[in-house]
Amino acid sequence: MKHLTEAEMIEHYYSEDFYRAEAERHLQACKQCAQSYEELGKLLGCLRTPDIPIRNSEYGIQVWQSIQGALRPYEPKRKRSFFHWPQFAYVAACMLLLAGAFWGGRMWEHAHTKSLVADNPQQTKERVVLFVLDNHLDRSERLLVQLNHAGAEGENADLPLQAEAKQLLSDNQLYRQSAARANDPLLNAALDHLERVLLEVANSPNGLSSADIARIQQEMNTQGLLFQIRVLRTKVSEQKTNAQAVRKGANI
């Protein structure tokens, strides 16, 4: 019989588990899990915030009075007459000129050059993705190396680390979503793990202490993550090299 993990019990407590009926059946059948779950329930049951202080009906007005002095009114957007004729004529002339140049260029290209192999747009896109992903993984690897050594370097080593983590965090969210769409579970899992580490580093208070760094290293297994990122980088670099080789081969 497979017992429920602590995470599964917490999910069950908050009714967020996918296999709710299955977990319920297990809790009825397994005394050990039922006891742990009961203890968890008792513990979470006693965790309530103190009573919220009552704010009177004037509270909103008081808040508004305290902040309104610091606010500058927005300037209403002016409506522009787009078809003001001299400007319109100038824009139209420029567009006509551009269109003519474009058309002429296309005609000249057709007449004088004949590409042996047209670049497949999908391959081009793939090369670009591999390039930026490789760059992202490289920066992440350097950050993790710094993080793993930061504890020994003293108190102020974290400032550039946090700024870098903040930059990487937004990029990482995009790559993770992209990996999820591309159905790449290995990359998705690694980027998800990386995102949690970046989040902790980025959101830690200024002056991240050695103790905080040690906690992040321990709780988030940054050594393991570093290994994962290195493996992924090797894989991405190989794919990049293959893509370049294919392109060169196609051009010969």
Partner 1 sequence: MGNDDYALIRSVLAGEKDAYGLLVERHSQSVFRVAFRITENEADADEVVQETFLRGYRKLDGFDARSNFRTWIYRIAMNCALDVLNKQKAQTAAPIAEEYDSEQAAVQVVDHTAGPDRLLLSQEIEVRRQAAMEKLTPTERIAFVMRHMEDRSTEEIARALGVAPNSAKQAVFRAVQKLRQSLAPLWVKS
The contact set with partner 1 (CB under 8 A) reads 6-7, 10-11, 14, 16, 39-40, 42-44, 46-50, 52-53, 55, 59-61, 63-64, 66-68, 70-77, 173, 176, 192, 195-196, 199-200, 203-207, 219
Taking 3-state DSSP, the helix, strand and coil percentages for the chain, each rounded to the nearest 5, stand at 75, 0, 25
Q: How far is the CB of 12 from partner 1 (least distance, A)?
A: 12
Q: How far is the CB of 201 from partner 1 (least distance, A)?
A: 11
CB nearer partner 1, residue 18 or residue 83:
18
CB nearer partner 1, residue 120 or residue 170:
170
- Cα distance between residue 158 and residue 164, in whole Å: 10
CB nearer partner 1, residue 169 or residue 246:
169
Q: How far is the CB of 68 from partner 1 (least distance, A)?
A: 7
Q: How far is the CB of 48 from partner 1 (least distance, A)?
A: 7
CB nearer partner 1, residue 104 or residue 207:
207
Instruction: Name residue, tokens 């080593």.
Output: 157
Give, as one character, the DSSP assignment of residue 78: P
CA 238 to chain centre: 24
CA-angle at 215, arms to 144 and 38, nearest 5°:
125
Q: Within 10 Å of residue 165's Cβ, how many Cβ atoms?
A: 23
Q: Does an H or E element contain 159, and which?
A: helix 158-181
